[in-house]
Amino acid sequence: MTGNFTETDERKALRSAVADLGARYGHEYFVAKARAGEKTDELWAEAGKLGYLGVAVPEEFGGGGGGIGDLAAVCEELARAGSPMLLMVVSPAICATVIARFGTEEQKQRWLPGFAEGTTKMAFAITEPDAGSNSHKLTTKVRRDGDEWVLSGGKYYISGVDEVQAVLVVAIGPTGPVLMIVPTDAPGLTFRPIEMEIVSPEKQFTMFFDDVRLPSDALVGSADAGLAQLFAGLNPERIMAASFATGMALRALDKAAEYARTRSVWGTPIGAHQGLSHPLAHCAIQVELARLMTQKAAALYDSGQDRAAGESANMAKYAAGEAVASAVDLAIQVHGGNGLATEYGLAQLLTASRISRIAPVSREMILNYVAQHTLNLPRSY
C-alpha cells in the first residue's frame, strides 16, 4: 500500500528488502524445488539469517520485536515474488506466537531463539478427518500418566511435518482442549503424505499418535484455558493466510497487467479493451480491499484486541481467498493459451489460489461466523 496511512517507514523498508530477497529466488526457483521433491531451504535459511522470519518474535529472544503485521508483510512479499512459503503461516505465526504469549519461561528460552533465527520449524496440528471445522469434536486425546502425558489419536492435512522438529498439537485433555509440543521423532508418532495436485515444496500429511509419551513440560500454557489460547493462535493464522493469498493475487495481477500492456492483436494492446481492463481493475480493487482488511486485523491483534481481531481476521481471510481466486483465473484468461503454458507460471497458481477459499478455514464457516457474530443472526450449525 502507498503512503503513510497504514504502514510505517520501517515496514515499507522491510517490504522493499524482502521483495529484493524474493526476486533473487523467485518463481523458477520455487517450482524447480517443488518438482524435484526438494524444500526451499536456501530461501528459508537466508530469510531467517536476515531476521525476516523472526520479525514478530520478542527482542529478548533474538527477534525483531514487531507484530503480526510485520510478519504478514514478509509473507506477502515473498508470495508476490513467486516464492510463497506456506510454513510461514504455521511456524512463526501460530507456533511462535502461542509460545511467546502462553509458554513457560523454559519453553520460550528453548524455542523462541530458533524461531527468531529461522533454525526452528514447527508444524501445527488441529484438523481431523471426522471433525472438519468443528474443533469441539476432536477425538485426539491426551491424558496424564504420572509425570508424563500420553497422546493418542490422529490428525489430517498437516503441513510440513517432514521438515519440522516438532508439532504443536491440539488435543482434548482432562478439562478441554490443550496445546502440546510433540517432537517429530517421538516414539509412537508416524505420518504419511497425502498426494496433492498442488505444486509446492511443502507437503500435506496424515499423522498418527499411538500412545506417544511426552514430558510434563510438553503442555503449553494452562490446561484450563486451551480454547482461548488456541483461538489466540488462529487469528495470526488467518491474517497470514490472507497475506499469503494477496501476495499470490498481486503476482497474478502484475503478470496479467504486463501481458495486457505488451500483447497486441490487430495493432492494439489487448489491455486497451474494456473487456479486459475493467475486469483487471475490478480485481485490483478487490485485492486492495483484502489487503486493507488484513492490515486492520493485524493492527487489532497487535494492540491486544483479540475479539475484534477475530472478526477482522476472518473477514480478511474471506476477502483474500475470493480475491486471489478471481485474480488468478482472470490472469490465465488474459494470457489465453499462454496462461496454461509452464513458461508463464500461472497454471501452477490455479490450485494454490483455489485452496485459499478452503483452508485454513472455509469461506462457508467464515460466513457463518460473520452472520452470527457481526450480524447477530441465529446460529445455523
pLDDT at 232: 80
CATH of domain 9-120: 1.10.540.10
- Residues for the chain: how many in total? 381
Residue with cell 510438553: 218
Q: Which CATH architecture has domain 226-374?
A: Up-down Bundle (1.20)
**Cα 176 off chain centre by:** 26
pTM to 2 decimals?
Answer: 0.95
Distance separating alpha carbons of residues 214 and 15, to the nearest angstrom: 40
Task: Pick 123-220's CATH classification: 3.20.20.150, 3.20.190.10, 2.40.110.10, 3.20.20.20.
Answer: 2.40.110.10
Is 9 buried (19+), middle (13-18) or exposed (0-12) by CB count in 10 A? exposed
- Residue ranges of domains in the chain: 9-120, 123-220, 226-374
Q: What is the 3-state secondary structure (H, E, C) of 235-296?
A: HHHHHHHHHHHHHHHHHHHHHHHHHHHHCEECCEEHHHCHHHHHHHHHHHHHHHHHHHHHHH
Q: What is the four-CA torsion angle of 27, 29, 34, 35, rounded to 10 degrees?
A: 100
Please give the single-letter amino acid code of residue 295.
Answer: Q
Give, for all 381 residues of the chain, the pLDDT tens digit.
333 356 899 999 999 999 999 999 999 999 999 999 999 999 999 999 999 999 999 999 999 999 999 999 999 999 999 999 999 999 999 999 999 999 999 999 999 999 999 999 999 999 998 876 667 789 999 999 999 999 999 999 999 999 999 999 999 998 889 999 999 999 999 999 999 999 999 999 999 999 999 999 999 988 887 777 887 889 999 999 999 999 999 999 999 999 999 999 999 999 999 999 999 999 999 999 999 999 999 999 999 999 999 999 999 999 999 999 999 999 999 999 999 999 999 999 999 999 999 999 999 999 999 999 999 999 988
DSSP 6: S
**What type of residue is 83?**
S
The pLDDT, as a whole number, for residue 133 is 62
What integer pLDDT is reported at residue 114 of this predicted model?
98
Q: Give CA–CA dist 352/349, Å, rounded.
A: 5
